[in-house]
Amino acid sequence: MPEEEAGRKDGLRKEAAWGEGGGGMDSTDAERDLMELRDFEREAKRLYGISPEAFQEVVWNWEEFAERFRRTEKNVPLQEKAPFFMGSLLTEQDCFPEERMEVSVLLHDRYVPPFYHSLKFIKIVYALRKGFFFYLREKGQDRRFRMEEGDFVIIPPEVSQAVFTADEGAVTVNIIIKRSTFGDAFYSLLMENDGISDFFWQMLYSKGNERALLVRCGRDENLERIVLEMCAEGILDESGSTAGKNLTMKGYVMLLFGRALKEHSGRMESVGHLSEADAALPEMIRYIRENYTTVTLPELARHFGRSEGYLSRYIRRETGKTFRFLLKEFRMKQAVQMIENSSCSIEEVAAAVGYADISCFYRNFRESFSMTPMQYRNIRSRISL
């Protein structure tokens, strides 16, 4: 990652703002600190003031932006390299300083030119103050959506997207969630049979996604308070244990989703390209998950009226994984839950998740977690003490 980006992220965490006693701050203090322009934002604002026209369309990199800028302002020199982050890909390592953290919060960069990039994680972009423009790349075309204060957008991994705001009073918050964390935390939501759960199944398993979920909440004070507290915990406060902070941040995300689904489910809009083949994937994944102890590829083919060869190719093409791998993944997730939360023997766990051959269970478990089931249970037992 560029040095500027590393410095930017370090600068987001302001120990002094939280106070020596760790007693917290009120919302006014938190907002004031969040609104303060950072040095690279001031440079971006300077360029925007010179040529707003150069910021009107989304670009792929600094070089493309610089070429557009020079067409409008030939006499203004530009640096050879971007003075702010404009990378094409962000990974979990870029945004989670602590590997054990599963949820992270970062401020979106104001005035930085809108540039397409993709993510290796799930991102929620929330308009805490003022609004922003959200760009989605769909079938080679640019689509732009205006998100007002209080609205947010959920962006799946691998999607080419961009966010732009040119307002010093705007506070746009990026809530970043590891893909595995989302699937575990929102299992009950995934098992619902509706358009929202279908979107999340595709988000977790489809590798050719060009979609996003827009949530038009307006000024919901409960959601606003949740996000502001997330910023205070994740950006302004560096005290406390990693485990405690991680649990707190996961709790905030669940509160955010729970409140949004309760109050605004009718104002959620999935945007982007969805082919007929894409639409069939959530139902198949849901069926595999519901019947993971007994389902086979021939049975799946019979249920959906397709040949085994077609389904095998379809699942591999859409998810990047084989049917056997998906089945093992679902079985292993259930197995670790039983190992952590029950006194069942390893043999009983293996039988409960669909393994008649105990040696096959041990082999698959070691492949998934690089340890035996008993080693996993012993480690989790020590952590919970």
Q: Is the pLDDT of residue 3 over 50?
A: no
Residue ranges in 107-217 assigned as alpha helix (H): 179-185, 187-190, 195-205
Are residues 88 and 202 both part of a single domain? yes
From residue 74, alpha-carbon distances to 51, 66, 112, 194 in Å are 11, 10, 20, 53
Q: Are residues 268 and 374 in the same domain?
A: no
pLDDT in tens, 233-253: 988 777 778 888 889 999 999
CATH of residue 264:
2.60.120.280
Same structural domain, 253 and 308: no
pLDDT in tens, 248-260: 999 999 999 999 9
344/250 same-domain check: no
Token pair, residue 182, equals 């989302």
25 shares its domain with 164: yes
Domain boundary among 208, 240, 272: 272
d(C-alpha 232, C-alpha 161), whole Å: 27
Work out the average pLDDT over 334-354.
93
Last residue in a domain, options 272, 306, 325: 272
| CA-based end-to-end distance of the chain | 38
Does one domain contain both 236 and 354? Answer: no
Residues 369 and 284 grouped into a single domain: yes
Domain count, the chain: 2
What does the alpha-carbon distance between residue 161 and residue 132 come to, in Å, rounded to a whole number?
Answer: 13
pLDDT of residue 17: 35
Query: Confidence class of residue 11 from pLDDT cuts 50, 70 and 90?
Result: very low
Query: What CATH number does the domain containing 292 carry?
Result: 1.10.10.60
- Stretch 43-57: mean pLDDT: 96
Asked if the model's pLDDT at residue 384 lies above 70, the reply is no
Q: Range of 306's domain?
A: 276-384
Tens digit of pLDDT for each residue in 262-287? 999 899 999 987 777 677 888 899 89
Average pLDDT of 341-358? 94
Identify the domain boundary among 224, 256, 272. 272
- The one-letter amino acid code at 67 reads E
Window from 8-12, 35-39, 52-56 with minimum mean pLDDT: 8-12
Q: What is the pLDDT of residue 154?
A: 95
pLDDT of residue 95: 85
What is the band of 27 on the pLDDT scale with cuts at 50, 70, 90?
low
Q: Residue 144 above 90 pLDDT?
A: yes
Residues 266 and 374 in one domain: no
27 and 8 within one domain: yes
Distance CA 55, CA 68 (A): 9
Instruction: Give the pLDDT confidence score for residue 310 in this predicted structure.
Output: 94
> What is the residue-averaged pLDDT of the chain?
87
Domain shared by 223 and 286, yes or no: no
